[in-house]
Amino acid sequence: QVQLQESGPGLVKPSQTLSLTCTVSGGSIRSAGYYWNWIRQHPGKGLEWIGYIYYSGTTYYNPSLKSRVTISVDTSKNQISLRLASVTAADTAVYYCARTLNNYADSWGQGTLVTFSS
């Protein structure tokens, strides 16, 4: 069974770039038909889809974040990464990576909380 694990700094300074990595185990990131996503959840709030990447490098970003988001893939390490630029306190959230098939998320990481401090 595939497992996903997010990693990265839990504390970021405003205006800096948030960088997170998701490592996939128990399966290949090259599996046909599966897309690899970032989804976030503000404290006590609902879920916001950030975007996804296919192992070929094809991406789609949520237009609400598109100007600040970059998602990349490293197939040799079975990892995807998220970079979110010019962060503010409004970007405080739990960040999840998730695998989708036909645009439903059937596997999720445990999530990582990112907070901001000046």
Partner 1 sequence: DIQMTQSPSSLSASVGDRVTITCRASQGINIYLNWYQQRPGKAPNLLICAASILLSGVSSRFSGSGSGTDFTLTISSLQPEDIATYYCQQSYSLPLTFGQGTKVDIK
Q: In terms of CB distance, is 19 or 111 closer to partner 1?
A: 111
* Least distance to partner 1, CB of residue 31, Å: 17
Q: For residues 98 and 39, is the Cβ–Cβ distance under 8 A?
A: yes
* Least distance to partner 1, CB of residue 94, Å: 9
β-strand 11-12 against 112-116: which pairing, if any? parallel
- Taking the CA atoms of residue 12, residue 13, residue 15 and residue 16 in that order, the dihedral angle to the nearest 10 degrees is -50
Residue 116, classified by CB atoms within 10 Å of its CB into exposed (0-12), middle (13-18) or buried (19+), is middle
Q: In this structure, what are the phi and psi dihedrals at residue 89, rounded to the nearest 5 degrees?
A: -60, -25
* Least distance to partner 1, CB of residue 111, Å: 5
State the CB neighbour count (10 A cutoff) for residue 23.
17
Distance separating alpha carbons of residues 59 and 7, to the nearest angstrom: 21
Interface with partner 1 in residues 59-98 (CB under 8 A): 60, 62-64, 96, 98
Of 32, 104, 117, 118, the residue at the interface with partner 1 (CB under 8 A) is 104
Binding characters for partner 1, 7-46, by CB under 8 A (x = yes): ------------------------------x--------x
Of 76, 102, 117, 118, the residue at the interface with partner 1 (CB under 8 A) is 102
- Where do contacts with partner 1 occur on this chain (CB under 8 A)? 37, 46-49, 51, 60, 62-64, 96, 98, 100, 102-106, 108-111
